[in-house]
Structure 1
Amino acid sequence: MLQPDGRLTPATPPAEEPVTTAEAKAHLRVEVDDDDTLIAALVVAARRLVEARLARALVSQAWDLTLDGFPRACTQRPGSWERSWSYYGTLTVPLAPLASVSSITYVDAAGEEQTLDPSGYQVVAGSPGLVVPAYGTSWPATRSRPEAVTIRFTAGYGDAADVPQTLKLAVLLLVSHWYEHREAAIDPLIGNGPVDLPYGVGALLAAESWGHYA
């Protein structure tokens, strides 16, 4: 199966962060309001780092995935080297967990923008999220041009309350690390080189990723 390289563009940001400023302050044991703006910014940065490391959205948010064309599938006749390509390919959404697809637009062979009828495709939510042509159909032909296809989709666990606790803790540990160390820190175990992630964050992300895909 061949899927063209895609580009992700945020469409609608999450309505809230996975942890509040008040929760972050409680974790930091900060009781004054002087650093509220800084702490709120650190929460956003920590959430974005977690999302980037896992290729996953935490709180639900809308994105656009643009492709140069629909994915194609390769078939080969038994006992023959002859291959053929068809537009039956599975489209993999590169940001998990996929919640829904709100629209698929494309530029047809004549250069006109079209919106694909939702009855023409099936959405498989979760991780990885998949979009496939409806039974008995195939993807429409598109004009050979960059960004001929745009998929508007929503990814994320839901509200902040729905985000796994392991990922919330990873966000809090990052906030704590950055709040205490305003510049690059040195790993005390090896004595040189900046710390990429504070101790425990990598383990939390790995544990959540393993459980998510198991």
Structure 2
Amino acid sequence: MVLQLITPPVEEPVTTAFLREFLRLPPDQEENLLTRLIRTAREVIEDHCNLVMLSQRWYLQLTNWPQSGRIALYKAPVISIDKVRGFSADGSAVQFSSDDWRLDTESRPQRLYLRRPQYITIARGLEIELTAGLANEPEALPETLRHACVMLAAHLYDNRNSAQAGTLMTSLPDMVAQLVSPWLRRGRL
């Protein structure tokens, strides 16, 4: 299984100006670093929670047709399934219609159930393009997730030289872990 980002979010959960104010840094100091830290914080939290905060497009490739017809989508919440394409034995692509699949948004991870059309013999796998995200703009995100991004970015800023000292972050800081705990991959989204 290959899961690859096609289109990243247009904005991050918080701005560099907000993080700079939180860190009490002078204006325009370390802009590039703060940008990278915010993006890293978002990516770490999304990966930790199996959650997509802001709208993103993803590409999922499977080498084999799932026997059950069920595919776990490890990016949630799914906004839309944009394309489902299979490959026949001769390698030709076959586009699936929306009648050939059903999205289960109630399970976690969310699942795509495929109905193999009788006229298609899948031999070389599937490609799925999907759009996922909890919100389209940062202001629509729950404040706890935005604050978790700020806290983690600040932690990364404060510990930016830790790698040189030989200590690496192996888990989320306690406060960040508490803030994101309701969003972990348990239960429903």
TM-score, structure 2 as length reference = 0.85
- The C-alpha deviation readout for 1:64-115, integer Å capped at 9, x for no partner, is 0100123213xxxxxxxxxxxxxxx222211111111000111112321111
* C-alpha contact (below 8 Å) 1:58/1:163 kept by paired residues: yes
State the 4+ residue runs in structure 1 displaced beyond 6 angstroms.
none
User: Which residue of the partner structure matches residue 76 of structure 1?
Assistant: none
The alpha-carbon deviation at position 36 of structure 1 amounts to: 1.6
Give SS of 1:150's match. Answer: strand
User: Which residue of the partner structure matches residue 120 of structure 1?
Assistant: 100
AA in 2 matched with 1:125:
T
Give SS of 1:16's match. Answer: coil
2:112, 2:66 → 1: CA distance? 10
- 1:64 and 2:42 matched: no
TM-score, structure 1 as length reference = 0.76
Point out the more displaced range, 197-206 or 119-128: 119-128
2:130, 2:80 → 1: CA distance? 6
* C-alpha contact (below 8 Å) 1:54/1:209 kept by paired residues: yes
- 1:170 and 2:165 matched: no
Give SS of 2:148's match. Answer: helix
* C-alpha contact (below 8 Å) 1:166/1:208 kept by paired residues: no
Pair 1:63–1:175, CA change in 2 (3 A): same
User: Which residue of the partner structure matches residue 82 of structure 2?
Assistant: 102
Instruction: Answer 1 or 2: higher relative contact order, Cα 8 Å, separation at least 6.
Output: 2
User: Which residue of the partner structure matches residue 25 of structure 1?
Assistant: 20
- 1:43 and 2:38 matched: yes
Q: Whose helix fraction is larger, Structure 1's or Structure 2's?
A: 2
User: Which residue of the partner structure matches residue 157 of structure 1?
Assistant: 134
User: Which residue of the partner structure matches residue 183 of structure 2?
Assistant: 208
The alpha-carbon deviation at position 125 of structure 1 amounts to: 3.2
Count of aligned residue pairs for this structure pair: 182
- 1:130 and 2:111 matched: yes
Q: Which has the larger radius of gyration?
A: 1
Give aligned-pair identity as a percent. 28
